[in-house]
């Protein structure tokens, strides 16, 4: 089973200083090249080399097909009653981002056996591996991906916490929004709980479509070690990652961008709406 986790030492998040790039490193794609990693960044800790489009086409073992075409969202715990609007917005977003039907399943209780009280620094946490196993046991046959979501804090192995964890070969992932309500000094204004939730979901479901972390551009498929690093990546797929998804799913790039533009406008992400509107006018990736 292959695992791809996000989030590592919570202490890193507390000590990192947000750095703004002085000069735009964008090429004509409109995307900024990923600068060399700083101590504490995901790529500083994990020496990943990236995945080309050709490698992706060779490695990808999960494509949207007639038989497998639905993204399922599986809420764990109270989320369905405490955050029904967030879940519905997420469902609509995933259907547009991945051009797949998206369905929210009835909620499941958080498994008692996954609970670890006051595991680190007094935080109650749940073992993400055990939540993944719950999903594996009940994956619908027509699922191209199943995304578990909870507002409980998650951990994996020795990691202090994880934002998300995916079992790629099983087409299941689980994500926590627990830390996305946190704020810090200098936080970008649009980094709301809603936007962070959409980003973790498109990133982690990207993994379920066998996309590895992006090392070339600032892209939603960048790995991240902290909330600050997560906030620094955009909600969009860079041209390379977009090519991968386009090959996998076979959507109309311009139509998809226009639907995303309207959606971002509707939920108040004006800058993101303007960005995808511009991308829709560019020649193919």
Catalytic residues: 204
Spatial CB neighbours of 145, under 8 Å, sequence gap ≥ 6: 62, 71, 72, 98, 100, 171, 172, 173, 205, 208, 209
How big is the site for Zn ion, counted in residues (CB under 5 A)?
7
Residue nearer to Zn ion on the CB measure, 109 or 284? 284
- Please report, as residue ranges, which positions from 18 to 57 form the binding site for Zn ion (by CB under 5 A): none
238 binds Zn ion (CB under 5 A): yes
Q: Where are the alpha helices (DSSP H) in 138-212?
A: 193-208
- Please report, as residue ranges, which positions from 242 to 271 form the binding site for Zn ion (by CB under 5 A): none
241 binds Zn ion (CB under 5 A): yes
Residue of 90, 154, 214, 273 interacting with Zn ion (CB under 5 A):
214
Q: Which one of the spans 67-75, 135-143, 206-214, 251-259 is the region binding Zn ion (CB under 5 A)?
A: 206-214
**How crowded is residue 109: how many other Cβ atoms within 10 Å of its Cβ?**
9
Q: How far is the CB of 43 from Zn ion (least distance, A)?
A: 12
Q: How far is the CB of 185 from Zn ion (least distance, A)?
A: 26
Residue nearer to Zn ion on the CB measure, 36 or 117? 36
Write the CA distances from 22 to 19, 121, 129, 259, integer angstroms: 9, 37, 41, 33
Using CA atoms, how far apart are residues 219 and 224, in angstroms rounded to an integer? 11
147 binds Zn ion (CB under 5 A): no
Using CA atoms, how far apart are residues 223 and 242, in angstroms rounded to an integer? 16
Q: Which one of the spans 109-117, 146-154, 225-233, 234-242 is the region binding Zn ion (CB under 5 A)?
A: 234-242
Q: How far is the CB of 2 from Zn ion (least distance, A)?
A: 12
Q: How far is the CB of 30 from Zn ion (least distance, A)?
A: 13
Residue nearer to Zn ion on the CB measure, 107 or 234? 234
Residue nearer to Zn ion on the CB measure, 145 or 221? 221
Give the interface with Zn ion as residue ranges (CB under 5 A): 4, 6, 214, 219, 221, 238, 241
């Amino acid at each position: 089973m292959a695992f791809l986790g996000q989030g590592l030492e919570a202490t890193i998040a507390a000590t990192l200083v947000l750095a703004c790039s002085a000069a735009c490193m964008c090429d004509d794609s409109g995307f900024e090249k990923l600068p060399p990693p700083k101590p504490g960044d995901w790529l500083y800790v994990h020496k990943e080399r990236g995945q080309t489009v050709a490698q992706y086409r060779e490695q990808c073992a999960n494509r949207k097909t007639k038989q497998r075409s639905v993204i399922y969202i599986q809420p764990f715990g109270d989320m369905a009653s405490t955050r029904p609007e967030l879940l519905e917005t997420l469902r609509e977003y995933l259907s547009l981002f991945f051009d797949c039907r998206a369905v929210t399943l009835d909620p499941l209780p958080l498994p008692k056996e996954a609970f670890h009280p006051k595991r680190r620094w007094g935080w109650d946490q749940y073992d993400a591996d055990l939540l993944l196993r719950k999903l594996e046991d009940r994956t619908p046959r027509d699922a191209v991906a199943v995304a578990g979501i909870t507002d409980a804090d998650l951990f994996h192995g020795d990691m202090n916490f994880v934002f998300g964890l995916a079992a790629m070969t099983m087409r299941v992932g689980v994500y926590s929004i627990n830390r996305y309500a946190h704020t810090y000094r200098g936080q970008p204004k649009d980094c709301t709980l809603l936007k962070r939730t959409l980003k973790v979901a498109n990133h982690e479901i990207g993994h379920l479509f066998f996309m590895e972390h992006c090392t070339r551009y600032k892209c939603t498929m960048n790995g991240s070690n902290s909330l600050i690093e997560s906030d620094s990546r955009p909600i969009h797929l860079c041209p390379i990652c977009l090519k991968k998804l386009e090959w996998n799913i076979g959507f109309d790039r311009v139509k998809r961008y226009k639907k995303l533009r309207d959606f971002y406008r509707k939920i108040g992400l004006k800058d993101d709406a303007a960005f995808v509107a511009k991308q829709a006018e560019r020649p193919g990736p």
